[in-house]
Chains A and B, each alone.
Chain A
Amino acid sequence: MSPLLEHLAGAFESVEWEESHGQDVAHVSNEDWAAFAEAAKEAGFEVCVDVTAVDWLRQRPQRFEVVANLLSMSQMTRLRMITAVGREDPTVASLTPVWPGANFAEREVYDMFGIVFAGHPDLTRILMPDDWEGHPLRKDFAVGVVPVQFKDSHQVR
């Protein structure tokens, strides 16, 4: 663990650290999400590369995971912060006050998973039409099927 991360680990006792295939992962609680992001940025993670989510329907007690990939250009380090979000109230603090670049990504996660980012300036659908019902990347959102009409299929022999 680099000194950058040791400093962070000291400040947040509740965070569980893990190494996943050579990458540092911090499992942050939902309440600490914004504070941890703030601290991470001060520690040197200037860029929020990506925000996404994973749906663990019927596999984990907390249904969703929100994943943010951070990057420190000066230290050439990556850090992934993950928080679990429940099914009843899928809300987590927005990262846009810390990294404005998380704007589109959080809108995409809202669009695809229905996870609400509290404090986001413009939390609207981004990829799907505005009047779309449901959130397509949830595991209980069925994959659509297109009925295929083969040539001469109506001719029953």
Chain B
Amino acid sequence: MTDEQTANREGGRPPSDTATDTLDLWVAGTEEPEFQPTDEGTQEFGPDESEARLDDQFGRVITDDYVFDDEVEEEERMVVNMGPQHPSTHGVLRLQLELEGEVIRRTKPIIGYLHTGMEKTAEQLTFSQGPTNVTRMDYLAPLHCELAFSLAVERLLDIEVPPRAAAIRVLLTELNRVSSHLVALATNGMDIGALSMMIYGFRERESILAFFEKSTGLRMNHNFIRPGGTAADLAPGWKDDVAAILEDLPKRLDQYDDLLKRNPIWLARTEGVGVITAEEAIAESITGPALRATGVEWDLRKAFPYSGIEQYEFDVPVGENGDVYDRYRVRVEEIKESLKIVSQVMDTMPSGDYRIDDRKITPPPRARIDESMEALIHHFKLFTEGFKVPPGETYVAVESPRGELGCYLVSDGEARPHRMHTRAPSFYNLQALPIAMADSLVADTVATIASMDPVMGDVDR
């Protein structure tokens, strides 16, 4: 038996092998090798590291090393397509980015991937079928779309809805604003990396959607606000549901503030990012939270009140710097203001009918159809032919969660609109992207897009 074989059988390490010598492994049952200290703990930064470089490395000083050279060669510019299948583009938004290294020089939003010709469809539908169509435009604020359309039809018809219908509309649209802003916060958080915010935002939105489902029958695309009032009265026990939301949400909002408001990572990703000035916002027809974040106090609920919203007390929160952080803050504050309105509507909900008592416009109650020939005829005529609207044109705008949602309605005296155009806030707000993103970093792109909160169904219609 050789020495090597003996050593292996005894569990010792084989003697005098070059490979094992360098590894210096110690095997149990043999003699312990001598301890050899390393110099790991004595390592220093290289002698050429100056104090300024160290400060930079420790994060004590932030140096902007993205100062870019004006005299960049043409071939160093690069055009990159972002989207339409990018998870952070909120649907099918495509951006053409012209880059110089990490810096975006120019941006061009390319839209139309979700275009379904809803304005053309609207010309084929009667006025009573119209809300089913418009509610699918801005699918995060469907009730606002229905409200704008219904108000336009009612103005052409020259009718006023009963106070209870107006109050129900305000209640639902303000709750819709809360749910839409919660999605905006959630997706904004998700895009920047605050994943908990995504879970929380959608969780709270769910409580509001559950109320919508109970009241309107559907979580989205409600077709609940119709010309002449609403489709039905609020479900029994609605006060308890709304009270539960009002009880729950403010506490949750405080939790979100704990999570984000002074979070250094959140601040670093949002402050001073995607800045739009007030002049730029007004020139580019930007509305909604993006406009208010620049410091312009403009809210259609105050300027041109609709649906009796002037009876309720609320403030218009404004930002200061027009950056991503201010847009986030404006949305959070708007949620609180909307909850204020909801609480007032709940306390002062008038009694009465939820739609006007005009059988030429709203269908008769179901029970009447069995008793009355006229009711049956009215019901039949309404759902086959619809009602005729006198010739005329009007423009009605409501403050949707994204800004001014307008409806330009032209009637030529028929039961179908001659032209129905929706002034979509997201469509116009996208014009701010090239301004907000000019000379910023690629990494800030998703933060800026998310803070504008575009809904592609609203953009493309």
Contacts and interface: CB of A to CB of B under 8 A. Distances in A.
A33 interface: no
Interface string B446-461: 0000000000000011
Interface residues of A, number: 37
A126 B364 CA distance: 44
Contacts, number: 91
Interface in A55-101: 55, 59, 67, 69, 73, 76, 78, 80, 99-101
A50 interface: yes
A49 B404 contact: yes
Interface in B424-439: 427-428, 430-431
B155 A101 contact: no
B406 A49 contact: yes
Interface stretch (B8-16, B114-122, B333-341): B114-122
Contact of A101 (B120, B158, B285, B298): B285
Contact of B392 (A21, A48, A137): A21
A102 B286 CA distance: 11
B19 interface: no
Interface string B181-205: 0000000000000000000000000
Contacts of A105: 285, 427-428
A41 B7 CA distance: 98
Interface residues of B, number: 39
A128 interface: yes
A23 interface: yes
Contact of B115 (A50, A80, A100, A127): A127
B285 A129 contact: no
A127 B120 contact: no
Contact of A73 (B117, B282, B408, B461): B282
A136 B285 CA distance: 25
Nearest to B303: A76
B282 A46 contact: yes
B404 to A, nearest CB: 6
Interface of A: 20-23, 46-50, 52, 54-55, 59, 67, 69, 73, 76, 78, 80, 99-105, 108, 112, 125-129, 136-137, 141, 143
20 contacts: A20-B393, A21-B156, A47-B282, A49-B406, A50-B423, A52-B423, A73-B298, A100-B283, A101-B285, A103-B431, A104-B427, A104-B430, A126-B112, A127-B460, A127-B461, A128-B112, A136-B120, A137-B119, A143-B120, A143-B124
